[in-house]
Amino acid sequence: MHGKQVYSGGSRECRFWPRRQNCLVDRIVLQGMSFSGRHGARPTEWEQAQEFKVDVELETDLSEAGRTDRLEDTVDYSQVRAIAKAIIEGQSVKLLETLAARIAERTLALQRVKAVSVRVAKRPASMAPIDAAAVHISRTRG
């Protein structure tokens, strides 16, 4: 196959694709966001709010924003944070996997987002001592 290599999103490997110029992918990273929520597999986890830490890394082309310095040419970080906040502070669910999947799905719906990785962590009292129980998922636009 003729063409240049490009990053294939999520796997850190390059593939041949004639329309792209290189393997570089631009990223926006929101790290260490903290929200309160009532999620867990045990009913006691729903009784009192717990702290959830969320990291979101998204792939997007930042070249236009780098040239223009205009918010409309990038992904608005505050929108991504608002998505994570709404999911964590919203409807209770049992699994961290569900929270991460919902954040990823809504983030992928934003214009310009090509792929997203989401990490959701909490420190469950029932598992002490533990720094965190966490899930990390990656999704790409279909």
DSSP string, 27-81: EEEEEEEEEEE---SSTHHHHS-EEEEEEEEEE---HHHHHH--GGGS--HHHHH
Q: pLDDT digit string (tens) for 20-42?
A: 455 568 999 999 999 999 999 98
SS3 of residue 26 by DSSP: coil
| Dihedral angle computed from the Cα positions of residues 9, 13, 19 and 22, in that order, rounded to the nearest 10 degrees | 110
SS3 of residue 138 by DSSP: strand
Q: pLDDT digit string (tens) for 5-24?
A: 333 343 344 444 444 455 56
- Give residue for tokens 């310095």: 69
Count of C-beta atoms within a 10 Å radius of residue 90: 14
Count of C-beta atoms within a 10 Å radius of residue 17: 14
Give CA–CA dist 1/32, Å, rounded.
41
Give CA–CA dist 122/77, Å, rounded.
22
pTM, rounded to two decimals: 0.81
Give CA–CA dist 46/64, Å, rounded.
44
Residues assigned a catalytic role: 122
Higher pLDDT, 4 or 126: 126
Give CA–CA dist 17/31, Å, rounded.
31
Q: pLDDT digit string (tens) for 45-104?
A: 888 899 999 999 999 999 999 999 999 999 999 999 999 999 999 999 999 999 999 999
